[in-house]
Amino acid sequence: MSETRNGGDTSLITREYFDNILVEMRHIDNAEPDISYTLYGKQFQTPVMYAALSHLGRVHQGGLTEAARGVHAAGAVMWAGMGEPEEMTDIVATGAPTINIIKPYADEREVLRRIEHCEKIGALAVGMDVDHQFGSRGERGSVLKIPMRPTSAAILAKYVKSTSLPFIVKGVLSAVDARKCLDAGVRGIVVSHHHGMVDYAVPPLMVLPEIAKVINGAMPIFVDCGVERGLDVFKALALGASAVSVGRATMAPLGEKGADGVREKIEQINSELSWAMCVTCAKDLASIDKSVLHWKTERPF
């Protein structure tokens, strides 16, 4: 989160960017839209996914595993962040196809052990949040006292080669890094600033078109940060995202109603997304047309 509320609050800047994009209506030749989504050979009911969260025990005693039950019930993709391998086993056992984002541990053997564990339990994919390689604000070089290390393109290529699972890089916020991921053989990227890793971070949607141009359909592009409603998802998809993750917006529903709360939140966002597609003549996700978007104030690039 931001160190200061006086300026540069990345979450606020990101919200403003979403709200600066308006949608043109197209009503003629419309049809009831299909929002089903296919990822790594599996079909899902929605492109709205859970974000790679962790340490949710304080929100609900069932933590991420309880959230995964809701995600499974919604027919969505589950993501999980930092946590013990046993927790990943429990999450996958809920039946929710799950992607585990592993930290850039300084101890490479720890990363490889976790990748192997994900293969064994049948995870959908694995990956790494490269934006945490220097640790956290105020705790440079480590996360929760566990040492991290900078991730090079060569290290990423090594992790990619070490596994039969798709390897994803989370924390891409530049076309430059997107190119490096492509060259390293990565199978998916998450365009994200990790809920405001630094102040004044560029909103994911602002750099998404540039990143999509570099990736050019070679791998799925996922987006997170500040997604709260179906129109946010619609705008991300229109600008080049394949699917979108929702994190903090699911936390209160998880705390209040457990798995049902998470399922209901995803279903609410689905319904809003589907409505946006109804009124813009998009019969499926591939038909969402970028040209329906307009910028309230002049577009920066």
Ligand X SMILES: Cc1cc2nc3c(=O)[nH]c(=O)nc-3n(C[C@H](O)[C@H](O)[C@H](O)COP(=O)(O)O)c2cc1C
Site residues for ligand X per CB under 6 A = 51-55, 81-82, 101, 129, 170, 192, 194-195, 224-227, 246-249
Minimum CB separation from ligand X for residue 103, in Å? 7
Nearest-angstrom CA–CA distance, 242 and 83: 26
Q: Which residue is nearest to ligand X (CB)?
A: 81
Minimum CB separation from ligand X for residue 41, in Å? 24
- Please, what is the end-to-end C-alpha distance for the chain in angstroms? 27
14 vs 280 by CB, closer to ligand X: 14
Minimum CB separation from ligand X for residue 38, in Å? 22
Minimum CB separation from ligand X for residue 251, in Å? 7
Contact in structure between 274 and 252 (CB atoms under 8 Å): no
82 vs 184 by CB, closer to ligand X: 82
34 vs 85 by CB, closer to ligand X: 85
Minimum CB separation from ligand X for residue 222, in Å? 10
Nearest-angstrom CA–CA distance, 301 and 286: 24
101 vs 243 by CB, closer to ligand X: 101
Contact in structure between 66 and 254 (CB atoms under 8 Å): yes
Nearest-angstrom CA–CA distance, 168 and 190: 7
206 vs 246 by CB, closer to ligand X: 246
Contact in structure between 25 and 19 (CB atoms under 8 Å): no
The Cα-based distances of 243 to 46, 58, 144, 148, 234 in angstroms read: 8, 28, 30, 28, 10
Instruction: Find the DSSP H helices in the chain.
Output: 10-19, 63-73, 85-93, 108-121, 153-162, 175-184, 204-215, 230-238, 251-257, 259-278
87 vs 184 by CB, closer to ligand X: 87
Nearest-angstrom CA–CA distance, 205 and 223: 8
Name the residue among 67, 165, 70, 151 with its Cα closest to residue 103: 151
37 vs 79 by CB, closer to ligand X: 79
69 vs 292 by CB, closer to ligand X: 69
Minimum CB separation from ligand X for residue 228, in Å? 8
Minimum CB separation from ligand X for residue 6, in Å? 21
Name the residue among 232, 183, 184 with its Cα closest to residue 208: 232
Minimum CB separation from ligand X for residue 86, in Å? 16
